[in-house]
């Protein structure tokens, strides 16, 4: 039973380029979350999606960042015109439910983005 | 906003020792989750807690949901080298179950 898959594991971009991060949730999970982690810090929530819907994007920067979870295929976190401050580890998580209880989130291995 | 403070920030212990760490919040949480993160990897869920006062075990790990709902504790018994890593507490943020707030982390290092 495969866990949450993310690719690529490492991504290097030059300032001004676009970064595309992919996430495939665990089998049977329809709730996807994206988090960002800076070195030596905890994870910070960015966005919560269900299939074809953005449910909560309160943690997403207003510009340059977007996320989608299409009917078919993985969830994509897209960062346009990357800047050095975007360098971080980006983690995707998925859950079976989203209610108050038993909504445990399971995380992927992350994508480490480095902006030169 | 809600903040989860973990202590200690880091600890060195000898193999075989028991470990205790805690997580405190200025506001009430209805769920507490404990994760472990190894270098270069994503967090792995260890234990989930849903009721005040609840005590739950997973092998050598035991976690408790504080009675006040503002804290949680994680204990590791008879530590082994593979326990090395960063332990995070997490809980749903702002009353919405779906966003997790993560704690500041406790870095555990084990000496042989």
CB contact under 8 A, A45 and B93: yes
**For all residues of chain B together, what is the average pLDDT?**
91
Handedness of CA B83, B84, B85, B88 (dihedral sign): positive
Select the residue of A48, A55, A107 nearest B43 (Cβ to Cβ): A107
Q: What percent of chain B has pLDDT over 70?
A: 95
Select the residue of A42, A56, A108 nearest B99 (Cβ to Cβ): A56
The residue among B72, B71, B83, B64 whose CA lies nearest residue B18 is B83
Give residue A21's pLDDT. Answer: 98
Residues of chain A with pLDDT under 50: none
pLDDT in tens, A70-80: 999 999 999 99
CA atoms within 13 A on the CB side of A103: 22
């Amino acid at each position: 039973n495969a866990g949450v898959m993310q690719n690529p594991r490492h991504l290097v971009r030059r300032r001004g380029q676009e970064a595309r991060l992919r996430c495939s949730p665990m089998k049977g999970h329809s709730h996807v979350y994206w988090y960002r982690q800076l070195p030596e810090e905890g994870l910070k929530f960015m966005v919560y999606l269900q299939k074809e819907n953005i449910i909560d994007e309160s943690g997403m920067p207003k510009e340059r960042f977007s996320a989608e979870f299409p009917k078919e295929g993985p969830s994509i976190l897209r960062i346009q015109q990357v800047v050095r401050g975007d360098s971080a580890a980006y983690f995707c998580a998925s859950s079976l439910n989203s209610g108050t209880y038993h909504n445990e989130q399971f995380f992927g291995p992350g994508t480490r983005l480095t902006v030169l | 906003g809600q903040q989860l403070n973990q202590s200690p920030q880091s600890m060195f212990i000898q193999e075989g020792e028991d470990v205790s760490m805690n997580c405190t919040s200025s506001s009430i949480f209805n769920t507490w989750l404990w994760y472990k993160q190894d270098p270069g990897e994503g967090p792995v869920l260890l234990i989930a807690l849903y009721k005040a006062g609840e005590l739950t075990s997973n092998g050598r790990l035991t976690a408790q949901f504080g009675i006040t709902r503002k804290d949680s504790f994680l204990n590791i018994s008879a530590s082994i080298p593979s326990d090395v890593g960063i332990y995070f507490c997490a809980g749903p943020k702002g009353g919405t179950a779906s966003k997790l707030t993560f704690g500041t982390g406790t870095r555990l290092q084990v000496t042989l």
